[in-house]
Amino acid sequence: MFSRHRQMMGVLYLLADAVLAVAGFALAYWVRARFINAHPLYPDPNYLWIIPSAIFLWIAVGLVTGSYRDIQEENLLRAFWDPLKAAFFGTVLLFAGIFAFKLAFISRLLLALYAVITLVGMIAFRLVARRLGDPLRRTFGGYREFLLVGDSPAVAEIAKAIEANEKRGMRIFGFARIRQHLENSQNCTGLRREYPVYSLKELPQLVRRHVIDEVIFAADKGDMEKIEDAFLLCEEEGVKTRVLLNFFPHVASKVYLDRLKEMPLLTFTNTPENEYLLLLKRALDFTMALALLVFLSPLLLLLAVLIKLTSKGPVLYRQVRCGLGGRKFTVYKFRSMHADADLRREELAALNELDGPVFKIKNDPRCTKVGRFMRKFSLDELPQLINILKGDMSFVGPRPPLPEEVEKYAGWQRRRLRMQPGLTCLWALEGRNQLNFRRWMELDMEYIDNWSPALDLKILLKTIPVVLLGRGAS
């Protein structure tokens, strides 16, 4: 597993253990006071200091013993051994402190219950994470597809390391050879399955036609000049690039050192990379989408009834769009047009008011009366809260394009596919459908280059009055 991802998993486990420790203490207090002895547990006002102290000791023991350093969900022994170490040493230190400072008022039974309950909770959490980690990744994050470029023996080591981490969401897409005279066959032995092998010249089409999240170059020193064009192409399209050797071209990407096991890799990326902040973004998206679906359910039901009563056809309109890395997904919208709208697009092509590959008509004759109202205030977009819950979209990000639009993108414009698509972005604040296509793309790149949670919050707050006033919509 890459070291940054490993560190993030360690932080997640640490936070989970902290939450379990708090819950364990609360449950122990309830059991002790309710079922064992009903007299007050806190005769001394300073008693509450024991709660953070107990939790700190357990977490500190985990940090010192390396429980959070290299998370291995597939290791059944560690699911028991790591919590047992924390429980034993943490409880011993806690009782030692109580005896050393002669804190006789503290209930030993309460602390013993706390230790047992928290131990059981931590073990249960690890067993659940071990069993559900892989399906949850597939449901909400999917696999990250890797293309390995190079002819050196190091390619085989990288391939085996990625295969070993398949349950963590890593998967090999294939191999690309640098030297043309080599046979077009897999250059790695001992792998679990066979993978397609391509030539380096095919890399531009592979990146454009397939979902490839990362490209790892493991080239020999003499092949550096041969991979430069391929490297710069990946940068232009926003594909994360890792290089095994010490190779620094003149690029605008952020460069950092990562490790795959003990192998150092230079990583180049010009898309947001902070995994902790991206995880926070996903958690907030999920929470907000779930809350809004519940809160807006009466409005959603009302709109569904109006659509059904005023025009023939389904309530929801489903359309295939391109998401993160070009992944295809089905976007949901309230149907705002007549059922035959897609069939009439060709006859209305001359009325298109936007340049580039995008199709938009201000007063589209295909819209229903209810649909025109919904589109003015973006109410037709509300079902996309389901897409946000599923992880296909975010609240803030570049709008998900149609596959046929992506086919017409210039290379630099494809970089917008390297950020989770969203409901709103910088273009919504500058004019929505009044922008020309190039300016729209430039604003998406500006968002990607300057992304932060603060920028997302700023965009959301500024989008609300734009939507409520129906400015720039069609």
* Per-residue confidence band for 269, with pLDDT thresholds at 50, 70 and 90: confident
Residue 473, in any domain of the structure = no
| Burial of residue 58 (number of CB atoms within 10 Å: 0-12, 13-18, 19+) | buried
Count CA atoms within 13 Å of residue 230 on its CB side: 30
> Do 93 and 148 lie in a common domain?
no
Per-residue confidence (pLDDT) for residue 185, from 0 to 100? 46
> Do 230 and 288 lie in a common domain?
no
Q: How far apart are CA 227 and CA 225, in angstroms?
A: 6
State the sign of the Cα–Cα–Cα–Cα dihedral 164, 170, 172, 176.
Answer: negative
**Phi, psi dihedral angles at 330 (to 5 degrees):** -95, 120
Residue 85, in any domain of the structure = yes
* Per-residue confidence band for 256, with pLDDT thresholds at 50, 70 and 90: confident
Q: How far apart are CA 130 and CA 75, in angstroms?
A: 8
CATH of the domain at 185: 3.40.50.720
Nearest to 410, CA basis, from 252, 230, 200, 236: 236
Nearest to 285, CA basis, from 414, 142, 411, 140: 140
**Separation of CA 222 from chain center:** 37
Judged by phi (left if over 0) then psi (alpha if -120 to 50, else beta), residue 247 lies in beta
Helices 297-310/369-376 angle, 10° precision: 150
Q: Of 122, 140, 158, which one is at a domain's C-terminal end?
A: 140
Task: Please say whether the beta carbons of 156 and 189 come within 8 A.
Answer: yes
Per-residue confidence (pLDDT) for residue 184, from 0 to 100? 47
Compute the mean pLDDT over every residue in the chain, rounded to the nearest whole number. 84
Residue 251, in any domain of the structure = yes
Q: How far apart are CA 366 and CA 337, in angstroms?
A: 5
Name, in order, each residue with C-beta under 8 angstroms of 256's C-beta and a sequence gap of 6 or more: 266, 267, 273
**Separation of CA 351 from chain center:** 38
> Do 313 and 365 lie in a common domain?
yes
Mean pLDDT in residue range 65-86? 86
The per-residue pLDDT for range 213-245, each reduced to its tens digit, is 999 998 877 787 888 899 899 988 899 999 886
Per-residue confidence (pLDDT) for residue 31, from 0 to 100? 84
> Do 119 and 209 lie in a common domain?
no
The answer on pLDDT for 246 being more than 70 is: no
The answer on pLDDT for 432 being more than 90 is: no
* Per-residue confidence band for 342, with pLDDT thresholds at 50, 70 and 90: confident
Residue bearing tokens 């898309």: 271
> Do 198 and 62 lie in a common domain?
no
| Burial of residue 62 (number of CB atoms within 10 Å: 0-12, 13-18, 19+) | buried
Residue 474, in any domain of the structure = no
This model's pTM is above 0.75? no
- Show the domain range for 456: 276-468
Per-residue confidence (pLDDT) for residue 262, from 0 to 100? 76
Q: How far apart are CA 412 and CA 204, in angstroms?
A: 13
Q: Of 208, 241, 270, which one is at a domain's C-terminal end?
A: 270
> Do 184 and 298 lie in a common domain?
no
Task: Please say whether the beta carbons of 323 and 421 come within 8 A.
Answer: yes
Residue bearing tokens 């990250």: 144
Per-residue confidence (pLDDT) for residue 181, from 0 to 100? 56
Per-residue confidence (pLDDT) for residue 118, from 0 to 100? 93
Residue 172, in any domain of the structure = yes
Residue 87, in any domain of the structure = yes
* CA dihedral angle for residue 278, residue 281, residue 286, residue 287, rounded to 10 degrees: 140
* Per-residue confidence band for 111, with pLDDT thresholds at 50, 70 and 90: confident
Per-residue confidence (pLDDT) for residue 43, from 0 to 100? 46
Task: Check residue 271 and report its DSSP letter.
Answer: S
- With residues binned 3-state (H G I as helix, E B as strand, rest as coil), the percentages for the chain, rounded to 5, are 55, 15, 30
> Do 124 and 146 lie in a common domain?
no
Which is more confident, 46 or 65?
A: 65
Q: Of 248, 270, 292, which one is at a domain's C-terminal end?
A: 270
> Do 301 and 450 lie in a common domain?
yes
> Do 342 and 222 lie in a common domain?
no
Mean pLDDT in residue range 414-424? 93
The answer on pLDDT for 474 being more than 50 is: yes
* Per-residue confidence band for 54, with pLDDT thresholds at 50, 70 and 90: confident
The per-residue pLDDT for range 35-47, each reduced to its tens digit, is 776 555 554 455 5
Which is more confident, 72 or 350?
A: 72
Q: How far apart are CA 394 and CA 384, in angstroms?
A: 9
> Do 169 and 125 lie in a common domain?
no
The per-residue pLDDT for range 357-386, each reduced to its tens digit, is 777 777 778 889 999 899 888 899 999 999
Count CA atoms within 13 Å of residue 205 on its CB side: 6
Nearest to 326, CA basis, from 254, 394, 407: 407
Mean pLDDT in residue range 434-453? 88
The answer on pLDDT for 319 being more than 70 is: yes
Judged by phi (left if over 0) then psi (alpha if -120 to 50, else beta), residue 102 lies in left
Number of domains in the chain: 3
Count other C-beta atoms under 10 Å from residue 215's C-beta: 26
> Do 217 and 294 lie in a common domain?
no
Name the most confidently modeled range: 164-173, 343-352, 400-409: 400-409
Count CA atoms within 13 Å of residue 2 on its CB side: 17
> Do 242 and 183 lie in a common domain?
yes
Residue 222, in any domain of the structure = yes
Residue 48, in any domain of the structure = yes
